[in-house]
Amino acid sequence: MEAPSQESVLVLDEDRALGDVVPPEALERARRASVAAVLTRPAGPWGGGRDSEIARGGFGLLLLDGLLVRRVGVGGRFGAELLAAGDLLRPWQHDGAAEVLPFEMAWRIVAPVRLAVLDTRWAARMAPYPDVAGELTGRALDRSRRLATLMAISQQPRLDRRVWLLFWELADRHGTVHPDGVHLRLRLTHEVISHLVAARRPSVSAALTRLAKRGVLRRDGGEWLLSGPPPDAT
């Protein structure tokens, strides 16, 4: 099945970290082989659907730009993970209704995304460059590590500290250091934050207000600004 998009990219140009693992003498050949179709999707609910079918059997969909939230719920309680550029998605692997413990699952695009289709044809072209497959596998393991970290954060008894730890975890990957602190350019609503820290939205709003009054976290236009040392240094 062909991807419903005319756009294509050289994945190793878009995602330089993948190119970094290829031996220099093979990099140009690997670049040319890494051509992939691109799906562009706007902000809003995303069901996967046909997008999942396009990449089924290959590595999956590689997030090139944008921001996605994957939300999972059991008994009216929800958790979530935040996915950004460099993350690998295989939406077709979810089938919550067929599990012993059924669960709800939904995707939401927070910032418009571009997804490279790493289908079986792409995998075959990249087979001579096994370090690329190793890097993609490593990223899948990184997702599991980040999920375990979110679980540990959600066990903190004080909500203020949960939110504070969450932002530093996100800053470790997405933040940029400036003289006034660490800037985090992520479109995080209070509702999204509440799912990430396993709390109610009104409680998260109150916690953010308290952190702002302490001068350690505030929203500045489209960015979040973290001031002072990270939690493990206090």
Report how far residue 198's alpha carbon sits from residue 73's, in angstroms, rounded to the nearest whole number: 11
pLDDT exceeds cutoff 60 at 64: yes
- The residue-averaged pLDDT of 27-52 equals 91
Report how far residue 169's alpha carbon sits from residue 165's, in angstroms, rounded to the nearest whole number: 6
pLDDT tens-digit profile of 86-115?
A: 999 988 776 555 556 667 788 899 899 999
Report how far residue 99's alpha carbon sits from residue 104's, in angstroms, rounded to the nearest whole number: 11
The class that CATH gives domain 159-233 is mainly alpha
pLDDT exceeds cutoff 50 at 2: no
Q: Where are the domains of the chain?
A: 8-143, 159-233
| Residues in a beta bridge with 72 | 79, 105
Q: What is the pLDDT of residue 74?
A: 77
**Residue keyed to tokens 């062909």:** 2
Domains 8-143 and 159-233 share a fold: no
Highest mean pLDDT among 72-76, 132-136, 192-196: 132-136
Specify the pairing of strand 60-74 against strand 88-89.
Answer: antiparallel
pLDDT tens-digit profile of 67-88?
A: 999 888 777 777 889 999 999 9
Report how far residue 192's alpha carbon sits from residue 177's, in angstroms, rounded to the nearest whole number: 24
Judged by DSSP in three states, 30 sits in: helix
Percent of the chain topping pLDDT 90: 60
Q: What is the pLDDT of residue 101?
A: 67
The model's confidence at residue 54, banded by pLDDT at 50, 70 and 90, is: confident
**Residue keyed to tokens 């995602």:** 15
Q: Which helix (H) or strand (E) holds 222?
A: none
Q: What is the pLDDT of residue 170?
A: 94
The class that CATH gives domain 8-143 is mainly beta
